[in-house]
């Protein structure tokens, strides 16, 4: 069942796939790639509103949202599209603080106790009610934050109508919840104490607010005047109104009396305020009129003031706590709650362009069998990604160091080194690709004068001109796609490393040839243990130095299954075709060892047999139709013929079905075979 989310208007198919359809369904907060994808979407709103590159960080908390003017921190509890709507609303709210709030003034007044300035009226009233300075400062802070928040929300709501849906979603989530609304209509929070005023004041925007619930609550509402709050255009204006509200609250609360060991008491004014505003009162920051032996410990069930809400909309404590924390605006506390390991991994994900791409849509709707699959696509490989962890990178060697693992690592390293030697040889054999040829035509009626023919003028010959035609190769780009499934492990992987390294090195010697390399496999992702196709761009000569191949390729180990056509479809536009133009030729070289095979019992996906072969064939056809020439190497070894593939002719037949005449069965470690097939590929495109 579809959800009517504001973001439905602009989310594309891929972005829609990041969220469950059922509003009660969760994709798991530990899915860091999904979380990073969602953060990128939310970050776009922050950047657009602030016109600054403001980073957005997620916190492992249900509701902590704040900004220090340089970074926005949001709750990581985005689980479905409705969560996404209110999360964007919160992001916009925090971003509007960056462009509208005076952080230096607020920090000076409310953070530094030595510079806190209250009006004489507030000082007199607080002293008469025995309220310590630290608690007065907290009272002034939350009232000001409330007025400030309502001002900046109104400003953006009125100036940017396109964002209104997100603000409404945020208010429905935090300020107009069912529990809050029911409590406002109930007989609760009608005793004139600080927690009652907190609850009633911060919910003045709720349609169910009752201005008769507390003394002069109507006066507070009139003073703030939500309908005309934009008149408070400066921070000082909003501070002045906030102080007036504080004066009204202090005038109307009951006088404070110290009590000890009185479990039946509703709680002291200081206790109430300490709980509502967060934390306990420091012993060294009290007025001299408070006894040192007075305890400020707050009972967790004291939030309701001893009033039973069971018949008035249920327990409202959780929702009220969310409101309190939203008005805290204490980013120094929020920073401590950020999960550093998760944040580090998310940063790697974003830096390396790890994203979700939908695949499996290559066949028409009448052809059954190919599901829509989420593929993980990595736009950049670096050492931090390789060494990160198994959750976001599957192609690392096993962490348990033993003889077999160490031997395999060394052979891969030796294969890459050998590939550098072979690459220089291959570059010479492909050197013709970088050369220009000039054909001269003489005895023309026009053109440049051919000096050798000047003497013929005396004989009446006037065709003394020449024209030259320069033949040169267009700039070209080869994308090499590597099957990195487990069946490629061992000798086939060593041969593959030699092959792709030699092609990369050869291309580096040719000024008009670029090459990129991607690896495709599958990966078990996160807590739900689902399997996803995983495609990573490992090298791109337009941005990477050839030393990257020497340094990082030896660290790669095959893993998982063979998503073949699903992978081609996922990277077709960006990796294979790219920005193709008439001035640049594009080629695809595939290296693999057999049929496609990808299953996931958790998601009930079976991409095997004729369905997978046909889907892969269709993707290759689509690539060719876009002007890309294809060359596909079937890689095997003598031992593989006998051990892994006793019916190897069948695999060759399936390979030919997928790649047609472009399927080549050669020794991929042979420089002669590689140069011959690649030169033939180039010449066929002239």
Per-residue pLDDT tens over the stretch 209-268: 999 999 999 999 999 999 999 999 999 999 999 999 999 999 998 765 444 433 333 233
Query: Which of the pair, 536 or 601, is modelled with greater confidence?
Result: 536
> What is the C-alpha to C-alpha distance for residues 228 and 633, in angstroms, rounded to an integer?
72
Instruction: Report the pLDDT value the prediction gives residue 308, as an integer from 0 to 100.
Output: 34
Percentage of the residues of the chain whose pLDDT score is greater than 90: 39
Query: Which of the pair, 588 or 104, is modelled with greater confidence?
Result: 588
Judge whether residue 207 has pLDDT over 80: yes
Residue 112's pLDDT band, with cuts at 50, 70 and 90, is low
**Highest mean pLDDT pick, 32-36, 341-345, 639-643:** 32-36
Q: How many CA atoms lie within 13 A of 671 on its CB side?
A: 18
> For the residues 342-349, what does the mean pLDDT come to?
74
> For the residues 527-552, what does the mean pLDDT come to?
90
Query: Which of 196-210, 436-450, 499-513 is least confident?
Result: 436-450
Judge whether residue 357 has pLDDT over 80: yes
> What is the C-alpha to C-alpha distance for residues 69 and 116, in angstroms, rounded to an integer?
21
> For the residues 593-611, what does the mean pLDDT come to?
85
- Please count the other Cβ atoms lying within 10 Å of the Cβ belonging to residue 605: 20
Query: Which of 18-22, 147-151, 309-313 is least confident?
Result: 309-313
Judge whether residue 275 has pLDDT over 70: no
CATH code for the part of the protein at 359-431+474-683? 3.40.50.410
| β-pair type (598-600, 605-607) | antiparallel
Query: Which of 115-124, 207-216, 447-456 is least confident?
Result: 447-456
Judge whether residue 292 has pLDDT over 60: no
Instruction: Report the pLDDT value the prediction gives residue 287, as an integer from 0 to 100.
Output: 38
621 φ, ψ (degrees, to nearest 5): -60, -40
Instruction: Report the pLDDT value the prediction gives residue 143, as an integer from 0 to 100.
Output: 95
Burial class (CB in 10 A: 0-12, 13-18, 19+), 557: buried
**Highest mean pLDDT pick, 332-336, 340-344, 415-419, 428-432:** 415-419
Hey, where are the domains in the chain?
Answer: 102-150+177-287+301-306, 359-431+474-683, 437-472
Residue 623's pLDDT band, with cuts at 50, 70 and 90, is very high
Query: Which of the pair, 657 or 398, is modelled with greater confidence?
Result: 657
Beta pairing partners, 535: 377, 520
Percentage of the residues of the chain whose pLDDT score is greater than 70: 69
CA distances from 157 to 8, 119, 160, 526, 634 (A): 20, 32, 6, 38, 60
> For the residues 345-359, what does the mean pLDDT come to?
83
Query: Which of 81-85, 105-109, 237-241, 267-271 is least confident?
Result: 267-271
Sheet of 513-525: strand order equals 354-359, 373-378, 530-540, 513-525, 475-483, 584-592, 628-634, 663-664
Residue 543's pLDDT band, with cuts at 50, 70 and 90, is very high
Residue 428's pLDDT band, with cuts at 50, 70 and 90, is confident
- Please count the other Cβ atoms lying within 10 Å of the Cβ belonging to residue 238: 24
Q: How many CA atoms lie within 13 A of 156 on its CB side?
A: 30
> What is the C-alpha to C-alpha distance for residues 603 and 601, in angstroms, rounded to an integer?
5
> What is the C-alpha to C-alpha distance for residues 629 and 474, in angstroms, rounded to an integer?
14
Query: Which of 50-64, 67-81, 254-268, 587-601 is least confident?
Result: 254-268
Angle (nearest 5°) at CA 547 between 541 and 549: 70
Instruction: Report the pLDDT value the prediction gives residue 435, as an integer from 0 to 100.
Output: 52
Query: Which of the pair, 635 or 26, is modelled with greater confidence?
Result: 635
Q: How many residues does the chain have?
A: 686
Instruction: Report the pLDDT value the prediction gives residue 680, as an integer from 0 to 100.
Output: 86
Q: What is the mean pLDDT of the chain?
A: 78
- Find out whether 122 and 140 touch, Cβ atoms under 8 Å: yes
> For the residues 577-600, what does the mean pLDDT come to?
84
Q: Which residue has the tokens 């829609």?
A: 16
Residue 174's pLDDT band, with cuts at 50, 70 and 90, is confident
> What is the C-alpha to C-alpha distance for residues 107 and 212, in angstroms, rounded to an integer?
34
Judge whether residue 377 has pLDDT over 90: yes
Residue 289's pLDDT band, with cuts at 50, 70 and 90, is very low
Judge whether residue 433 has pLDDT over 70: no
Instruction: Report the pLDDT value the prediction gives residue 401, as an integer from 0 to 100.
Output: 74
Beta pairing partners, 476: 513, 585
> What is the C-alpha to C-alpha distance for residues 581 and 585, in angstroms, rounded to an integer?
8
> What is the C-alpha to C-alpha distance for residues 538 and 546, in angstroms, rounded to an integer?
12
**Highest mean pLDDT pick, 16-20, 55-59, 86-90, 382-386:** 382-386
Query: Which of the pair, 421 or 132, is modelled with greater confidence?
Result: 421
Handedness of CA 175, 178, 184, 187 (dihedral sign): negative
Instruction: Report the pLDDT value the prediction gives residue 115, as an integer from 0 to 100.
Output: 60
Question: Strand ranges (DSSP E) for 181-322?
Answer: none
Instruction: Report the pLDDT value the prediction gives residue 606, as an integer from 0 to 100.
Output: 86
Beta pairing partners, 237: none
Query: Which of 14-18, 517-521, 642-646 is least confident?
Result: 642-646
Residue 10's pLDDT band, with cuts at 50, 70 and 90, is low
Instruction: Report the pLDDT value the prediction gives residue 467, as an integer from 0 to 100.
Output: 60
Tokens of 596: 């496609």
- Find out whether 63 and 16 touch, Cβ atoms under 8 Å: no
- Please count the other Cβ atoms lying within 10 Å of the Cβ belonging to residue 299: 11
Instruction: Report the pLDDT value the prediction gives residue 291, as an integer from 0 to 100.
Output: 34
Tokens of 81: 């599209």
Burial class (CB in 10 A: 0-12, 13-18, 19+), 303: buried
The CA-to-CA distance between both ends of the chain, in Å, stands at: 54
Nearest alpha-carbon partner for 321 in 335, 304, 346, 309: 304
Instruction: Please name the residues in contact with 467: beta carbons below 8 A apart, sequence gap of 6 or more.
Output: 440, 441, 444, 446, 447, 448
Judge whether residue 274 has pLDDT over 50: no
> For the residues 428-448, what does the mean pLDDT come to?
61
For residue range 182-203, what is the model confidence (pLDDT) as tens digits? 999 999 999 998 889 999 999 9
Buried-exposed string 179-201: b where 16+ CB fall within 10 A, e elsewhere: bbbbbbebebbbbbbbbbbbbbb
- Find out whether 478 and 507 touch, Cβ atoms under 8 Å: yes
> What is the C-alpha to C-alpha distance for residues 482 and 588, in angstroms, rounded to an integer?
11
Q: At what angle do helices 133-159 and 120-128 cross, to 10 degrees?
A: 130
> For the residues 313-321, what does the mean pLDDT come to?
73
Instruction: Report the pLDDT value the prediction gives residue 268, as an integer from 0 to 100.
Output: 38
Angle (nearest 5°) at CA 283 between 282 and 288: 120
- Find out whether 375 and 534 touch, Cβ atoms under 8 Å: yes
Q: Which residue has the tokens 């949001």?
A: 74
For residue range 410-423, what is the model confidence (pLDDT) as tens digits? 999 999 999 999 99
Query: Which of the pair, 136 or 638, is modelled with greater confidence?
Result: 136
Instruction: Report the pLDDT value the prediction gives residue 258, as an integer from 0 to 100.
Output: 42
> What is the C-alpha to C-alpha distance for residues 567 and 367, in angstroms, rounded to an integer?
19
Instruction: Report the pLDDT value the prediction gives residue 121, as an integer from 0 to 100.
Output: 92
């Amino acid at each position: 069942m579809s959800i009517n989310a504001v973001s439905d208007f602009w989310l594309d198919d891929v972005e829609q796939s990041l969220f469950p359809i059922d509003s009660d369904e969760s994709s798991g907060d530990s899915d860091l790639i999904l979380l990073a994808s969602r953060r990128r979407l939310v970050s776009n709103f922050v950047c657009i509103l602030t016109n600054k590159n403001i980073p957005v960080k997620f916190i492992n908390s249900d509701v902590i949202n704040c900004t220090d003017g340089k970074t926005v921190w949001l709750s990581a509890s985005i689980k479905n599209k409705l969560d996404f709507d209110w999360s964007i609303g919160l992001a916009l709210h925090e971003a509007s603080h960056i462009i509208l709030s005076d952080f230096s003034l607020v920090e000076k007044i409310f953070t530094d106790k030595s510079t806190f300035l209250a009006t004489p009226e507030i000082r007199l009233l607080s002293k008469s009610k025995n309220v310590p300075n630290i608690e007065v400062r907290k009272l002034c802070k939350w009232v000001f934050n409330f007025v400030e928040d309502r001002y900046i929300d109104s400003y953006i709501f009125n100036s940017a109508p396109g964002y209104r849906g997100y603000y409404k979603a945020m208010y429905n989530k935090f300020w107009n919840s069912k529990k809050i609304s029911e409590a406002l209509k109930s007989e609760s929070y009608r005793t004139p104490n600080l927690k009652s005023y907190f609850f009633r004041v911060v919910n003045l925007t709720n349609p169910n607010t009752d201005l008769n619930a507390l003394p002069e609550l109507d006066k507070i509402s009139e003073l703030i005047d939500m309908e005309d709050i934009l008149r408070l255009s400066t921070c000082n204006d909003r501070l002045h109104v906030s102080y007036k509200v504080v004066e009204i609250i202090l005038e109307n609360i009951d006088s404070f009396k110290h009590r000890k060991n009185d479990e039946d008491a509703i709680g002291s004014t200081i206790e109430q305020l300490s709980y509502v505003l967060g934390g306990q009162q420091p012993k060294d920051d009290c007025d001299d009129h408070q006894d040192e032996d007075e305890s400020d410990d707050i009972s967790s069930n004291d939030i309701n003031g001893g009033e039973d809400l069971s018949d008035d909309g249920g327990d409202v404590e959780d929702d009220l706590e969310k409101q309190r924390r939203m008005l805290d605006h204490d980013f120094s506390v929020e920073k401590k709650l950020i999960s550093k390991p998760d944040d580090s991994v998310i940063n790697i994900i974003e830096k390396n362009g790890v994203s979700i791409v939908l695949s499996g849509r290559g066949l028409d709707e009448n052809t059954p069998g190919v599901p829509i699959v989420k593929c993980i696509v990595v736009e950049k490989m670096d050492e931090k990604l390789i060494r990160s962890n198994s959750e976001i990178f599957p192609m690392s060697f096993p962490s348990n160091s033993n003889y077999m693992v160490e031997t395999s690592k060394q052979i891969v390293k030796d294969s890459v080194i050998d590939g550098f030697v072979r690459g220089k040889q291959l570059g010479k054999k492909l050197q013709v690709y970088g050369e220009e040829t000039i054909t001269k035509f003489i005895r023309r009626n026009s053109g440049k004068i051919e000096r050798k023919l000047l003497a013929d003028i005396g004989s009446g010959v006037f065709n003394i001109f020449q024209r030259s035609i320069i033949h040169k190769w267009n700039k070209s780009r080869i994308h090499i796609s590597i099957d990195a499934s487990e069946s490629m492990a061992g000798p086939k992987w060593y041969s593959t490393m030699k092959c792709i390294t030699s092609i990369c090195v050869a291309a580096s010697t040719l000024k008009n040839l670029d090459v990129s390399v991607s690896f495709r496999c599958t990966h078990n992702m996160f807590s739900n243990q689902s399997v996803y196709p995983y495609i990573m761009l490992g090298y791109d000569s337009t941005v990477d130095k050839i030393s990257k191949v020497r340094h990082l390729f030896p660290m790669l180990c095959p893993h998982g299954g063979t998503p073949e056509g699903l992978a081609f479809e996922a990277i077709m536009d960006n990796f294979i075709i790219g920005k193709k133009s008439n001035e640049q030729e594009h080629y695809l070289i595939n290296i693999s060892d057999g049929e496609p095979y990808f299953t996931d019992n958790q998601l009930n996906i079976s991409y095997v047999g004729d369905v997978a072969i046909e889907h892969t064939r269709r993707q290759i056809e689509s690539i060719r139709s876009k002007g890309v020439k294809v060359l596909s190497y079937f890689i095997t070894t003598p031992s593989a013929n006998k051990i892994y593939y006793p019916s190897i002719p069948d695999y060759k037949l399936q390979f030919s079905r997928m790649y047609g005449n472009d399927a080549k069965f050669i020794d991929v470690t042979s420089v002669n075979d590689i140069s011959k097939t690649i030169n033939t590929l180039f010449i066929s495109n002239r």
